[in-house]
Structure 1
């Protein structure tokens, strides 16, 4: 069975690539498990100073795997996404995300947890949970910490699509560049980070993420329980069933 997440190291950068094209890199149990493994591998890899998360195919991440959620609920899945965000935030090494293509709902939690995000200006984002009777609960831990309050209200309540350029203005991503400059800018950022000393990077990241980590620890369980409850509700299950039927 081919892996859904790939790992390689070159020039002090551990590149982790989401590659689950059949479901648009949705956060299935298997993909999340493999992503955990790759992040933990990068953390302990002496050859890696920087961690880069990217994607294969046209979609960065389509959010939760709704087929799994409709079949088995989200009790454990919600907690795993909280833990995934916490891992990215608490790692000693800086985590950069290269973002091209669409990212939706739960996938935005990976973006917000990352230390630096370089997006294509035509990448698209949407917190679509509200359209399905859900709420952006577990990813609010990181997303709302990054965005301005007004931007968080607009995107969370509206559920509409916004661009990479808008995401940069909202504070969700670090910078947005033209698509033909994306790899160049990601390479520049990673090369700059790779010149940092391990201790300096570690302690600087701890200072930067102290409040965010405390927020996750204080509210993570509450948000996981809320998310699981909403996924199990009649309204959400009916909306997910209708959505999956349209996809077929």
Structure 2
């Protein structure tokens, strides 16, 4: 079963998260398949840029609680998106939660339609947005992150653009992306790669400095009693025991 669809048009490779039954949650197989697709795109000289999108009404619901990837596998995937020597553009027309926001932050450019909604829901199941902070903290407004990390509130696409999570938000995401993709097609491949290297240097410094600590934190929290209660409550569609 293929979990990542692939199409190509005029040098733009589109990778589609294609597990709508699980709301494109980051399972171990999906993470591995997306990593393989990115590796192939990086080696293909005919690929000018990569669009990361989705099927169904959810871009990504975060980690698959029934079959989650190891924290280090998610770190590796996020770093791969940052490091791949082609621009990676997120195209979002649905909901994004938890780990899915890490995918957005790792992309070089991110666009969403008015139907998109966003939330850092980790605290509501007893964990923290640890690993995804590697690309998020260097690129997103710190005051806004403090609010949304700590409360798990939902916010819309214009707010996501305001705080730096998105590059652009509009009712028609393809209309927003048209001039961006045209610009990428007009740009020299080596120049794109070197320009991306300039733009991602600070993000990669964060990976080098903090990845081991945040991976350990993520593993510890997911193994905690509160996380077990939070995830069980989520799967059983009930309130967790700590709700007051």
TM-score bracket, shorter-length normalisation = over 0.9
**8 Å Cα contact 1:9-1:47 kept in structure 2:** no
- 1:46-84 deviation line (CA, Å, top 9, x unaligned): 211011000011110000001124xxxxxx611111111
Aligned to 2:194: 203
**8 Å Cα contact 1:98-1:118 kept in structure 2:** yes
Pairwise CA distance, 1:19: 0.5
- 1:138-172 deviation line (CA, Å, top 9, x unaligned): 00111122111101101101110000110000111
Q: 2:136 aligns with which of 123, 131, 143?
A: 143
Structure number having the greater helix percentage = 1
Gaps of 5+ in 2: 239-244
Moved more, 154-163 or 182-191: 182-191
Please give the alpha-carbon distance, in whole angstroms, between the structure 2 residues aligned to 1:87 and 1:112: 12
Pairwise CA distance, 1:187: 2.9
**8 Å Cα contact 1:168-1:175 kept in structure 2:** yes
1:1-248 to 2 correspondences below 5 Å: 2-69=1-68, 77-178=70-171, 181-246=172-237
TM-score by length of 1: 0.93
4+ long deviations beyond 3 Å: none
TM-score by length of 2: 0.95
Please give the alpha-carbon distance, in whole angstroms, between the structure 1 residues aligned to 2:212 and 2:36: 22
Give the number of equivalent residue pairs. Answer: 238
Q: Give RMSD over aligned pairs.
A: 1.2
